[in-house]
Structure 1
């Protein structure tokens, strides 16, 4: 422990504003020894001179100064006990474990000695005085006794002032050897712009142009460097590109050719301008290295690559469905068209991922670009049982493979279609809190961004992948991939310790069951009818031939509604439209509003084609093709009738429609007619 003594208003020989350190209390001499450490700047030099002065008080005066005086005033001396204190010039490294720092063992300078070697050398020099400190403290003049030891010190004689300083430092600060460390870590921190050095040329002399070839950096030059960087850095992009811009536009410099073919920068009026190294030095010193990087690289890249870890996104969340993240990504392969061998625009996949368990709660799809319908499809997938979702998508999904059902209590999406009013309006019905992430900052939505498929860039010409799967088949494949990730992704790091040890939790599905089993779920229940009305795409279905049609797809009325919806459709015309809902891109099922009831309809194909691989977009193209062919066929029928009449006249010489029309009924029972018919039959 180090005892610090101060005299707020001065006391005896102790001055106000000076910090003293308690060194020794000698009983034989009835006195108290105090030490003050001083650091003075040297004239015309950045070096600082350090020394220690010894102060003596009688023990009676010292104890009197610690007590309250007769007038009731406070004590004249104030004692402060501090653990691990360091000398004033070493306070910047106070609390650091210098024994564990490699820099303390690294040799530097011409002496090839490490800082630890210097400390040990100083300790060796004062060791004889430490062993004889009782004799020194009982002497009438301890400083004189220390000077004698300084002159006898080994391996060489030591300066008396330095010897006394090291001796007092070692004893005052708990005999810790690192208090003897020279403060060389403060080298270079002196003010280069001080008027004390205004006539000095700083830095290493130029070997090529001479020791006096340079201009001294002035505050005005530094201001131009900093202001020029803030003005031109973003447009230049790099530090190497912005320096020439500042030299030309802020300092007025130009370029000229030298006789040897090299180029150099100069000022037409001979005014001073900084060298490139001075740009780096003052920008890093005044603006800061991190701020320079931020201006040049941008906030997003700076945060992604250089910002320290601020914690996990799931910190502060304890329930499944307490918060989920939505985002869309492009499927790596382009789907094949159902109509031809061409390929369609890329398929976008929307994933809704829970922030706590890392499980995908729902998926949605769109073609070409992401839209609000794809995000609403992902919400629809999340709120219905997954075997039912698989049936609607034409595949089979087991309950155990995807057990989650419900709407999250809070949603986070980017500022794209996922955060549009079309999506927020439906979420407001269940008071679901929706948040938006900053633009172009995927790190803010890392929970779902980490779920996206990764593509590896290859050197050479650009290339892309074409799939042999149609849009619906590619959607089905992506759903199977989501099921696999929910079964196999590693969530052991985000799972509680008890879940890993006792329940062997390793996958998102395992962690979901663990949380739900303990009642830690915030998922909201939504009925199937409400899910259809809120999250599926509203459309109009038209009646024709006793069936309902949408974009070329035919939907049959189930038997249970033959007498209601089926009978009504028969009476409807093609212009009659019924309000309905469909899953985007998927034509397998539709739901129609009739009589306040939501009725599910199944799409049907031709008798010889039971598969429905076309999306609603492709079905619309098929319907247009049917209409075009029907129009062409009408024109063809007229032409064929004209042709048959011409052929008939050419071969028979008579018109197609010849003869006359009479009133009444024909008389087929006359004897003449019966005889002619009999003869014709016999001939046949």
Structure 2
């Protein structure tokens, strides 16, 4: 215990009352004296209490007096400004006549003589008399009570000049509820003595009116006007050339400043900001509450999903015209910021695109890229495995069947609508478009859908390897001396086993996430919308031999809709991966088309076959007419005769001889 230590008397002790804090001043062994100081709540007076040293120490041993170790060494009457720098307090003042520094220096000058002789004064029998005499000797003379307060405060609170700070933070905090005769505060320049005081009843009506008529599209003036007219019953009139509100019955109503002030006082700042700006805008203008990754410790612990639309137009398959871009769905690891999943959909965002993204997350990325005709190095994209916690927005993915995902999914979180900050990790990872104020234009790509999907896979690899992830790096990460990119963070923690993903066999991922479509198994191949697929493993099953005996077999195959280079068909419980059958006359690049394009080609094929069936009779009849005109005889002049072929007689032999003679035969 030292000078300035806070002391409590739990049950009271002598002059010390329970529940009051006292401050230790001195323990004088020569005079067998211990002194403590008590301050009043307002910091206006200091009271000195003296004990014998033996009495004081015995009270400490018996627990009648205990030290309060939570004491922060600030004067108790200035809690509001105790931890604020003096410079900041000066900046908050309005039109000061004397700076705080000058005020503190003036007060310290009044006690400087006492501080110089402090050891002798604190031990003196007549301490208060010495302080009073010192106050009278000052020029100009000072109030002895005030000088005693300054001196004891300075000595107790660390001999710090800051302890002499004036107690001004309570100024203006008195209760005004009983003052209802006239409006309080500064006099107005338009009507110095006009207006009404804000009573408790008026406060209730102000808050009630604001809650009823507030709307984000309304200005403050509109809300105030609606409250005055519809809640307070005021009207508008023109008097002395000025428009003003009045009440027909002379009842009180608030001014605009009173209305704003009491709305602010009676509402939570955050709630008021949400009410005036809307939740989304208020959140965007509020301070950061921390990063989503701050509470995570593993990669793939949480993965956020969201879709976006590339701005460039694509090339149509048949005519080469500009086509609307497709939707790209990305899944981003909250901890590392790495993109770990990607899916595609033609046109709008669909649930199938999210299922494709989950499929890509579950399987090895080298295998996934191969399905699009890309040969990927293993180190390009290292993520592999499903996260057990997914975050979707309330779009098409919100209807995901979670019952079928119980084996691997532990939590599915749906963010509020129009709340991008709820999944800020994936939102911030989307590619950005540069904007300007030039005349309208659009970007035209030379990619078709599959080529654009390949480009998006490349973009994921670029983003993972080049994005700045410095904000996600810990001190331990910097020591490892790797570049702060999502790819490196993911790779580092994966090598340490800090990966919350779970594995899934490729065949299970196909059955779980890919869409099934009808196929026809014929004697030579499997047909999906007219396209031939085959595989050696399928031939070995003998299914084509069975088809040759029974005709066509209808079955279901799993399809990656954005690229139909491969399909998967299940025969007798075994999943077979089939590849597109390329013949000598087919361009190898034609294998890389989407299911949507394959459907268009199949539709064109069916239309052409229908056209052939419709044209055939007319073509044959036209040619028959031409033949009859040229030959003078009908091309279809056959008639059926009874009996078998006639026997060779003399007449038939003569006809045969004449025919040979005409044709030059022998």
TM over 0.5: yes
Q: 1:674 to 1:231 in 2, by over 3 A?
A: same
Aligned residues between the structures: 657
Quick check: 1:415–1:436 contact (8 Å CA) kept in 2? no
Task: Give per-residue Cα distances to partners, 1:261-299, cap 9 Å, x unaligned.
Answer: x53222232222111211221122221322210222344
Quick check: 2:523–2:545 contact (8 Å CA) kept in 1? no
Q: 1:86 to 1:515 in 2, by over 3 A?
A: closer
Equivalent residue for 2:197?
216
Equivalent residue for 1:250?
231
Q: 1:107 to 1:150 in 2, by over 3 A?
A: farther
Match of 2:352 among 351, 373, 381: 373
Match status 1:286 vs 2:266: yes
Does the residue aligned with 2:542 lie in a helix, a strand or coil?
helix
Deviation for aligned residue 1:365: 1.0
Equivalent residue for 1:437?
414
Match of 1:199 among 169, 177, 181: 181
Deviation for aligned residue 1:437: 3.2
How far apart in 2 are the matches of 1:330 and 1:114? Answer: 60
Q: 1:227 to 1:664 in 2, by over 3 A?
A: same
Task: Give per-residue Cα distances to partners, 1:101-148, cap 9 Å, x unaligned.
Answer: 43247875352x221211111111222343355776688765555444
Equivalent residue for 2:276?
296
Task: Give per-residue Cα distances to partners, 1:182-226, cap 9 Å, x unaligned.
Answer: 122333323332x2x3334312222223x2111111111111111
For residues 78-477 of structure 1, the aligned pairs below 5 Å read 84-94=72-82, 96=83, 98=85, 101-104=87-90, 109=95, 111=97, 113-132=98-117, 143=128, 145-154=130-139, 156-193=140-177, 195=178, 197-209=179-191, 211-234=192-215, 236=217, 239-258=220-239, 260=241, 263-313=243-293, 315-318=295-298, 320-422=299-401, 424-429=402-407, 431-440=408-417, 441-459=419-437, 464-477=442-455
Q: 1:328 to 1:572 in 2, by over 3 A?
A: farther
Match status 1:622 vs 2:601: yes
Does the residue aligned with 1:634 lie in a helix, a strand or coil?
helix
Q: 1:572 to 1:406 in 2, by over 3 A?
A: farther
For residues 486-497 of structure 1, the aligned pairs below 5 Å read 486-495=464-473, 497=475
Task: Give per-residue Cα distances to partners, 1:482-510, cap 9 Å, x unaligned.
Answer: 12223333445535555544463544443
Q: 1:198 to 1:374 in 2, by over 3 A?
A: same
Q: 1:23 to 1:603 in 2, by over 3 A?
A: closer
Quick check: 1:351–1:448 contact (8 Å CA) kept in 2? yes
Quick check: 1:106–1:114 contact (8 Å CA) kept in 2? no
Quick check: 2:216–2:278 contact (8 Å CA) kept in 1? no
How far apart in 2 are the matches of 1:39 and 1:495? Answer: 49
Match of 1:37 among 39, 64, 73: 39
Deviates more, 1:597-606 or 1:667-676: 667-676
Task: Give per-residue Cα distances to partners, 1:507-565, cap 9 Å, x unaligned.
Answer: 44434443343344444333222222222111220145733222232324548616712
Deviates more, 1:225-234 or 1:301-310: 301-310
Match status 1:525 vs 2:503: yes
Q: Which runs of 5+ in 1 are unaligned?
A: 41-49
Q: Which runs of 5+ in 2 are unaligned?
A: none
Quick check: 1:313–1:355 contact (8 Å CA) kept in 2? yes
For residues 489-568 of structure 1, the aligned pairs below 5 Å read 489-495=467-473, 497-502=475-480, 504-544=482-522, 546-558=524-536, 561=539, 564-568=542-546
How far apart in 2 are the matches of 1:274 and 1:601? Answer: 79
Quick check: 1:253–1:265 contact (8 Å CA) kept in 2? yes
Does the residue aligned with 1:325 lie in a helix, a strand or coil?
strand
Equivalent residue for 1:52?
45
Deviation for aligned residue 1:180: 1.3
Deviation for aligned residue 1:475: 0.7
How far apart in 1 are the matches of 2:596 and 2:413? Answer: 31
Does the residue aligned with 2:526 lie in a helix, a strand or coil?
strand
Task: Give per-residue Cα distances to partners, 1:3-53, cap 9 Å, x unaligned.
Answer: 55677787777777766555566788876666543467xxxxxxxxx6436
Quick check: 1:170–1:179 contact (8 Å CA) kept in 2? yes
Does the residue aligned with 1:586 lie in a helix, a strand or coil?
coil
How far apart in 1 are the matches of 2:69 and 2:537? Answer: 93
Quick check: 2:315–2:445 contact (8 Å CA) kept in 1? yes
Quick check: 1:353–1:448 contact (8 Å CA) kept in 2? yes
How far apart in 2 are the matches of 1:637 and 1:630? Answer: 11
Quick check: 2:365–2:381 contact (8 Å CA) kept in 1? yes
Deviation for aligned residue 1:309: 2.5
Match status 1:580 vs 2:562: no
How far apart in 1 are the matches of 2:149 and 2:396? Answer: 72
How far apart in 1 are the matches of 2:613 and 2:12? Answer: 118
Match status 1:673 vs 2:659: no
Q: 1:109 to 1:167 in 2, by over 3 A?
A: farther
Quick check: 2:565–2:592 contact (8 Å CA) kept in 1? no
Quick check: 2:27–2:33 contact (8 Å CA) kept in 1? yes
Does the residue aligned with 1:601 lie in a helix, a strand or coil?
strand
Quick check: 1:314–1:355 contact (8 Å CA) kept in 2? no
Does the residue aligned with 1:664 lie in a helix, a strand or coil?
coil
Quick check: 1:151–1:160 contact (8 Å CA) kept in 2? yes
Deviation for aligned residue 1:581: 0.9
How far apart in 2 are the matches of 1:289 and 1:409? Answer: 37
How far apart in 1 are the matches of 2:283 and 2:520? Answer: 54
Deviation for aligned residue 1:82: 7.3
